């Protein structure tokens, strides 16, 4: 066990993979100085500029090069800085990386990890604060990962690097400094949810930065005599349908919580799956309004996920 930040945990996982396999490389802007959030700190000094590669500012070029690297046997990690910038590389992600294995009968594999940080980044406004996980969960061929803790940012990045398929790896922009003990020997399987808090009266399903407000809301509910179970999906594709259905079948109430815009968010997939499989379960979603994230704090707060918003939604399901 070691005390690490969310950023340090990811750097440790990547460093372990690079030490074990010379085919693992990373490319993107500002990696040599450690990355925007320190998630590559010390790696270029250790492994050299030929493996921690600084690139020009051209997201489509970066992603296209990485797809080519993957098809020729390397295991690239692509850093897009924030998911908003990855929209400049959407063709390479959706039409090249995701489809290659299918279109060519399995002759080619794309063992590529795309680090696309999601979520509100304080005072960074509409083009730096998006949560677009539902876009990528919709695309056949992509694995979608959303770590919420330092432990998961270590274990899930290890799993993503080992998967052999294109992985959209979505760290949250405001979790980098979060600190906790990390067991670097712990393996975490893709598609396996975590019960962050057990409960019997209400199931709260969430991921990424939604986990902590949901846990805080569950604690407040417990003080009022309500037992809420909090499930951290950890990966959105594949997602742990069995764990969610088992919990919802027991509690008969489901609240899905995410920071992304509620309209057509991934919460709708979870809610629909439960409603179809378990008639009679009360289902509610909580997401952001369908507005761009504002720069000013009052506007930004309209999009932010808070404990009070989770509590309000939870009480509506319980009523």
E strands along the chain, which residues? 2-5, 24-28, 52-54, 75-79, 113-115, 143-145, 167-169, 179-182, 194-197, 202-206, 228-232, 235-237, 253-261, 282-288
**Annotation says 138 is catalytic:** no
Which H helix or E strand runs over 150?
Answer: helix 150-162
E strands along 200-308, which residues? 202-206, 228-232, 235-237, 253-261, 282-288
Task: Estimate to the nearest angstrom the gap between the alpha carbon of 109 and the chain centroid.
Answer: 22
Six-digit token pair at 54? 């600084």
Name the catalytic one among 50, 128, 154, 258: 128
Q: What is the DSSP letter of 130?
A: -
d(CA 20, CA 250): 43
**Residue appearing with tokens 């304080």:** 122
Instruction: List, edge to edge, every strand of the sheet that includes 228-232.
Output: 194-197, 228-232, 202-206, 253-261, 282-288
What are the residue ranges of helices labelled H in 48-147? 59-71, 83-86, 90-91, 100-103, 133-137
**Residue appearing with tokens 């407000």:** 213
Query: Do the beta carbons of residue 39 and residue 176 sit within 8 Å?
Result: yes
d(CA 47, CA 187): 24
Residues tagged active-site: 128
């Amino acid at each position: 066990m070691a005390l690490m930040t969310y950023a340090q945990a990811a750097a440790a996982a990547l460093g372990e993979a690079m030490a074990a396999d010379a085919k693992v490389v990373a490319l993107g802007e500002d990696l040599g100085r450690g990355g925007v959030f320190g998630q590559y700190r010390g790696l270029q000094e250790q492994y050299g500029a030929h493996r921690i590669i600084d690139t020009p500012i051209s997201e489509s070029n970066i992603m296209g090069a990485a797809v080519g690297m993957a098809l020729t046997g390397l295991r690239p990690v692509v850093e897009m800085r924030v998911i908003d910038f990855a929209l400049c590389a959407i063709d390479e992600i959706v039409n090249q990386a995701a489809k290659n294995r299918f279109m060519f009968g399995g002759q080619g594999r794309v063992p590529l990890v795309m680090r696309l940080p999601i979520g509100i980044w304080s005072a960074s406004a509409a083009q730096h604060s998006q949560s677009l996980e539902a876009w990528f969960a919709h695309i056949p061929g992509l694995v979608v990962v959303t770590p919420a803790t330092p432990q998961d940012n270590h274990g899930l990045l290890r799993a993503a690097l080992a998967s052999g398929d294109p992985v959209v790896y979505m760290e949250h922009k405001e979790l980098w400094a979060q600190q906790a003990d990390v067991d670097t020997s712990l393996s975490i399987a893709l598609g396996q949810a975590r019960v962050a808090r057990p409960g019997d009266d209400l199931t709260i399903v969430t991921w990424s930065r939604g986990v902590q407000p949901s846990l805080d809301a569950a604690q407040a509910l417990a003080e009022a005599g309500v037992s809420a179970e909090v499930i951290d999906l950890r990966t959105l594709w594949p997602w742990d349908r069995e764990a969610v259905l088992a919990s919802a079948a027991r509690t008969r109430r489901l609240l899905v919580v995410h920071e992304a815009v509620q309209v057509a968010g991934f919460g709708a997939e979870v809610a629909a799956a439960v409603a179809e499989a378990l008639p009679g379960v009360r289902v509610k979603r909580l997401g952001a309004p369908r507005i761009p994230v504002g720069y000013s704090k009052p506007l930004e707060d309209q999009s932010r996920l808070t404990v009070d918003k989770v509590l309000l939604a939870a009480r509506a399901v319980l009523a």
